[in-house]
């Protein structure tokens, strides 16, 4: 773009000083003619680097998941194809699940046995409590019998007193008095018998309660142990079923399986340092790296353009998503040692995250190129940066190597 501007400027100089000779071509005019474009282009470029800053380090980055199985076993199937699009949830590989199925079956049998013991302990507790409940019902019945006989004896005693008063007054029968006294004696005997029965039931209840307290406590201890055993077996069974589920490894997202060296018959280990393959997700980051003093006018939502080496002569429209206000140099290592004053890393650049407008466009992970952000200031000169971008991407057609 600078060359085009210089050519246009040279054309007008030729018209003014040589074609029409409107001004004399002397020392003063020569100094002005040669100084003016240098100063103008310098000022223009300096302003352009603020209002439409460019970056020569645009990168396409993808999330990469290291696939490590959660269980160890022999691989029996690897249906995934390397470098082919895989949808989320599709099978990457399968581990022989026979050991985990056997373990789950054994634990299910143990669970049935543990629950049987729990039911038996519960039945023992119910049996131990049933004897005490029966004696309490008997005691309640005996107490009711005592109360009933006591009420009848009280009524019989009043009848005897009434008959005695009538006989003494000569108005009653001696036979009725004797019969009333006999009834009273019979009721008093029944009352003594009911009291004796109540005392006997109470004594049995006391003895049974003392014995049953120990048996109930033992039954409750058995229930607690059975519950603990059931819970332990259920936890082991859940872990066995989880291992069974983890014997099949699925794609964590849409993406591509890279570096697939896993084959049926090999052993896949759950060791985190030994991934069996790398999975590159389709979700991407496009970032443009800028010097820290180039960010003063950049804001989220600004228009942006990038040109990648994988797409010569193509301008990819973007929007500024955000500015990543952090660098590797801003992180202190977690260490007891003091941070060193000299870093081996180059001076930090700030990443500007870009959002590509055409989401259907395929961007290779690791693709690099150039880019520019067009801020809201001095929009009239943004065309210069756009022309520079388009001229630069046409040069990407050239492959400059001699072999």
Task: List, for residues 345-376, the tens digit of each pLDDT value.
Answer: 456 789 999 999 998 898 998 899 999 999 99
Q: How many domains does the chain have?
A: 2
Residues 46-62, mean pLDDT to the nearest whole number = 93
Within a 10 A sphere around the Cβ of 334, how many other Cβ atoms?
5
Q: What is the dihedral of CA 272, 273, 276, 282, to 10 degrees?
A: 80
- 354 with 286: CB under 8 angstroms? yes
pLDDT bin (cut points 50, 70, 90) of residue 213 is low
Does one domain contain both 37 and 127?
A: no
Residues 268-273, mean pLDDT to the nearest whole number = 86
Does one domain contain both 136 and 242?
A: yes
Domain membership flag for residue 32: yes
Residues 208-225, mean pLDDT to the nearest whole number = 65
From 190, 213, 246, the end of a domain falls on 246
Backbone phi and psi for residue 337, each to the nearest 5 degrees, phi listed first: -85, 150
At residue 347, the pLDDT reads 67
Does one domain contain both 238 and 111?
A: yes
- 385 with 52: CB under 8 angstroms? yes
At residue 93, the pLDDT reads 95
We report the CATH number of the domain holding residue 144 as 1.10.287
From 246, 267, 287, the end of a domain falls on 246
Domain membership flag for residue 128: yes
At residue 342, the pLDDT reads 46
375 to each of 50, 58, 288, 351, how far by Cα in Å?
Answer: 9, 18, 15, 16
Residue 215 has pLDDT above 70, yes or no: no
Buried b (16+ CB within 10 A) or exposed e, 77-90: ebebeeeeebeeee
* Alpha helix positions (H), 55-97: none
Backbone phi and psi for residue 332, each to the nearest 5 degrees, phi listed first: -90, 135
* pTM: predicted TM-score of the whole model, two decimal places: 0.63
From 225, 246, 267, the end of a domain falls on 246
- 91 with 76: CB under 8 angstroms? no
Question: Lowest mean pLDDT: which of 116-120, 186-190, 318-322, 363-367?
Answer: 186-190
Does one domain contain both 23 and 128?
A: no
Domain membership flag for residue 36: yes
168 versus 236: the higher-pLDDT residue is: 236
Domain membership flag for residue 132: yes
Q: Residue 372: which H helix or E strand, with range?
A: strand 368-374
- 69 with 267: CB under 8 angstroms? no
Q: What is the dihedral of CA 139, 140, 141, 146, to 10 degrees?
A: 90
**Could you tell me the residue range of the domain that residue 117 belongs to?**
99-246
233 versus 374: the higher-pLDDT residue is: 374
> CA 99, CA 108: separation in Å to the nearest integer?
14
List the 248-250 sheet strands across, edge first.
248-250, 91-95, 73-77, 267-268
Domain membership flag for residue 204: yes
Buried b (16+ CB within 10 A) or exposed e, 273-287: eebbbebbbbebbbb
Domain membership flag for residue 58: no
pLDDT bin (cut points 50, 70, 90) of residue 59 is very high
Residue 343 has pLDDT above 60, yes or no: no
At residue 288, the pLDDT reads 94
At residue 345, the pLDDT reads 44
At residue 370, the pLDDT reads 94
- 361 with 316: CB under 8 angstroms? yes
Residue 208 has pLDDT above 70, yes or no: no
pLDDT bin (cut points 50, 70, 90) of residue 53 is very high
- 390 with 315: CB under 8 angstroms? yes
- 47 with 381: CB under 8 angstroms? yes
Q: What is the mean pLDDT of the chain?
A: 83
Does one domain contain both 139 and 240?
A: yes
Percent of the chain scored above 70 by pLDDT? 82
In the block, tokens 């023992």 appear at: 124
Domain membership flag for residue 277: no
> CA 104, CA 91: separation in Å to the nearest integer?
23
Percent of the chain scored above 90 by pLDDT? 37
Backbone phi and psi for residue 306, each to the nearest 5 degrees, phi listed first: -135, 155
Residues 200-218, mean pLDDT to the nearest whole number = 61
pLDDT digits (tens, 9 = 90+) for 298-318: 999 999 999 999 999 999 999
Domain membership flag for residue 42: yes
């Amino acid at each position: 773009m600078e060359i085009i501007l210089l050519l246009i400027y040279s054309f007008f100089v030729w018209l003014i000083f040589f074609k029409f000779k409107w001004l004399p071509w002397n020392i003063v005019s020569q100094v002005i003619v040669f100084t003016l474009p240098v100063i103008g282009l310098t000022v223009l470029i300096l302003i352009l680097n603020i209002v439409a800053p460019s970056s020569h380090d645009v990168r396409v980055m993808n999330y990469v998941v290291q696939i490590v199985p959660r269980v160890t076993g022999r691989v029996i199937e690897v249906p995934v194809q390397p470098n082919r699009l895989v949808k989320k949830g599709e099978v990457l590989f399968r581990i022989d699940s026979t050991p985990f199925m056997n373990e789950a079956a054994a634990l299910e049998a143990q669970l049935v046995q543990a629950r049987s013991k729990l039911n038996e302990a519960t039945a023992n507790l119910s049996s131990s409590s049933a004897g005490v409940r029966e004696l309490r019902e008997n005691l309640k019945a005996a107490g009711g019998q005592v109360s009933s006989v006591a009420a009848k004896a009280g009524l019989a005693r009043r009848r005897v007193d009434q008959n005695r008063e009538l006989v003494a007054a000569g108005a009653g029968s001696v036979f009725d008095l004797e019969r009333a006294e006999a009834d009273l004696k019979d009721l008093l005997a029944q009352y003594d018998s009911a009291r004796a029965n109540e005392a006997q039931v109470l004594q049995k209840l006391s003895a049974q309660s003392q014995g049953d307290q120990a048996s109930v406590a033992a039954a409750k201890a058995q229930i607690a142990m059975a519950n603990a055993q059931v819970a332990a077996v259920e936890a082991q069974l859940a872990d066995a079923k989880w291992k069974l589920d983890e014997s099949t490894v699925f794609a964590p997202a849409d993406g591509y399986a890279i570096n697939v060296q896993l084959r049926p018959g090999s052993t896949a280990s759950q060791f985190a340092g030994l991934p069996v393959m790398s999975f590159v997700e389709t979700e991407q980051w496009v970032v443009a790296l800028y010097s820290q003093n180039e960010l003063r006018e950049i804001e989220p939502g600004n228009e942006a353009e990038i040109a990648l080496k994988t797409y010569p002569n193509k301008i990819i429209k973007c929007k500024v998503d955000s500015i990543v206000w952090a660098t590797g140099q801003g992180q202190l290592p977690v260490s007891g040692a003091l941070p060193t004053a000299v870093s081996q890393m180059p001076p930090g650049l700030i990443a500007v995250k870009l959002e590509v407008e055409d989401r259907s466009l395929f961007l290779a992970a690791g693709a690099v190129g150039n880019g520019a952000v067009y801020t809201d200031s001095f929009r009239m000169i943004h065309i210069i940066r756009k022309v520079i971008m388009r001229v630069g991407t046409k040069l990407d057609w050239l492959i400059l190597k001699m072999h």
